[in-house]
Homo-oligomer: A and B are copies of this chain.
Amino acid sequence: MPVKLSIPEPEELLPVAGVKLGTACASIKKPGRRDLLVVELAKGSRVSGVFTKNRFCAAPVLLCREHLEAGKGIRALVVNTGNANAGTGEEGLRRARQTCRELASLLGCEESQILPFSTGVILEPLPVDKIVAGLPSCISNLSETNWFDAAEAIMTTDIQPKALSRQIAIDGRKVTVTGIAKGSGMIHPNMATMLGFVAFDARVSQKQLDELVLDAANASFNRITVDGDTSTNDSFMLISSGDSPEISGEAFGKLKAAVIEVSVFLAQAIVRDGEGATKFMSITVEKGGDESECAKIAYSIAHSPLVKTAFFASDPNLGRILAAIGYAGVDLDVNCIEVYLDDVLVAEKGGRAVSYREEDGARVMKQEEITVRVVLNRGMAATTVWTCDFSYDYVKINADYRS
């Protein structure tokens, strides 16, 4: 079960003016399950996105980049689950284009005003006929209040839908930020098999939006890892809609904080619902020379199967954490490092802390949420990444996924 992640109530997910969502059961994943989503954007909406850095990036990622560059204004997003349309070559690109063309024709816009997204099995042909057949049904139920259904429609191995809304007041006007995300395996920085969509009904310039999507991704989706695998399809899209005047200055800072809050919630939700996860771990590396070395060490810990299985077993096997610090590829004096499990100092001066008692470590390891804090004592930089443990169920889920 997901670690401390509650299912949102549909009425908690607040409409964003200018953003309508419609879903369908198109039998792509399996019959009777929502697996297709169309998000229609009011004219004049702005969209910006960041995508996977995987060289085998999927056909829809290539098309998204192409359509965003075309600059004609995005009018709709279309998302299917059950098939990633990745590793599908020219034919995959053709099928993604066909999806965009059909939706454009239904909505009365141009093909390049559609952004397509796919998630699911890789290297299988996209069932484009089923997608095209499902589009009218999506359009017929387009509504600003369908965020919960949308969150469900994009799930793959996710156990729970992931969604959050925040409202802030800007210049006396209520602004809503609502987002949904999916992903529970193949999760790694640089956007591993995750899709995230966050929209707000306030107008910002394209330049501001382009910066904001990067800042939000770096604070959230680029800080999570489940298994170190970076997927072919990851995409995080930020949507600015509505007809407010363009905001800037302090008001923009307030909006940015809300967008980051929603993005961090969604990113952490992916880890909490990580395949087979039973524990949520924050790995913080502090007082480093620069952020890059902090990140190297944090990911070295977060990716270690030995560390992750020890957390699954609630075993304070601190040696595995120290070993992971040691092989992170950072030239360290290990005698200067302190390591904490929550508030418990476990290691210092190159070995176990004199004050450390095994029962204190065992107490922390039994918790569902644990912070590993590594203090390098050689600078002022810091970073945090979030990950989960490695359980029998991780193997089970990934050994059975296609069957």
Q: Which residues of B contact A349 (CB under 8 A)?
A: 89-90
Residue in B closest to A312 when the chains form the complex, CB atoms: B399
Q: Which residues of B contact A317 (CB under 8 A)?
A: 121-123, 401-402
Are A351 and B123 in contact, CB atoms less than 8 angstroms apart?
yes
Are B122 and A322 in contact, CB atoms less than 8 angstroms apart?
yes
Docked CA distance A326–B325 (Å): 26
- Residue of A229, A323, A349 ringed by the most chain B CB atoms within 10 A: A323
A379 at the interface (CB under 8 A from B): no
Q: Which residues of B contact A377 (CB under 8 A)?
A: none
Are B306 and A398 in contact, CB atoms less than 8 angstroms apart?
yes
Residue in B closest to A305 when the chains form the complex, CB atoms: B227
Task: Choose from B190, B312, B396, B399 the contact partner of A310 (Cβ within 8 Å).
Answer: B399
A324 at the interface (CB under 8 A from B): yes
A15 at the interface (CB under 8 A from B): no
A186 at the interface (CB under 8 A from B): yes
Residue in B closest to A325 when the chains form the complex, CB atoms: B56
Docked CA distance A252–B158 (Å): 59
The stretch that binds B, out of A24-32, A283-291, A329-337, is A329-337
- With an 8 Å Cβ cutoff, the count of chain A residues facing the other chain is 69
Task: Choose from B89, B227, B327, B392 the contact partner of A351 (Cβ within 8 Å).
Answer: B89
A306 to chain B, nearest CB (A): 5
Are A231 and B315 in contact, CB atoms less than 8 angstroms apart?
no
Are B402 and A322 in contact, CB atoms less than 8 angstroms apart?
no
Task: Choose from B86, B306, B319 the contact partner of A323 (Cβ within 8 Å).
Answer: B86
A49 at the interface (CB under 8 A from B): no
Residue in B closest to A351 when the chains form the complex, CB atoms: B89
A185 at the interface (CB under 8 A from B): yes
A283 to chain B, nearest CB (A): 16
Are A305 and B229 in contact, CB atoms less than 8 angstroms apart?
yes
Per-residue 0/1 for A54-74: is the Cβ within 8 Å of any B Cβ (1 yes, 0 no)? 111100000000000000000
Are B315 and A403 in contact, CB atoms less than 8 angstroms apart?
yes
A92 at the interface (CB under 8 A from B): yes
Per-residue 0/1 for A362-403: is the Cβ within 8 Å of any B Cβ (1 yes, 0 no)? 000000000000000000000000000011101110111111
A304 at the interface (CB under 8 A from B): yes
Residue in B closest to A92 when the chains form the complex, CB atoms: B351
A66 to chain B, nearest CB (A): 16
A88 at the interface (CB under 8 A from B): yes
A401 to chain B, nearest CB (A): 7
Q: Could you list 17 A-B pairs, sorted by A, with CB under 8 Å?
A: A55-B334, A56-B350, A86-B322, A122-B317, A122-B320, A122-B322, A123-B317, A185-B306, A188-B327, A190-B327, A229-B323, A229-B324, A305-B305, A305-B390, A313-B399, A315-B399, A392-B392
Apart from A54-B327, A123-B351, A312-B395: 8 A-B pairs, beta carbons within 8 A: A55-B326, A56-B334, A87-B347, A122-B318, A227-B306, A229-B305, A229-B306, A310-B399
The 8 A-B pairs with the shortest beta carbon distances in the complex, nearest first, are A122-B319, A89-B351, A56-B326, A313-B399, A230-B327, A309-B398, A123-B319, A54-B326
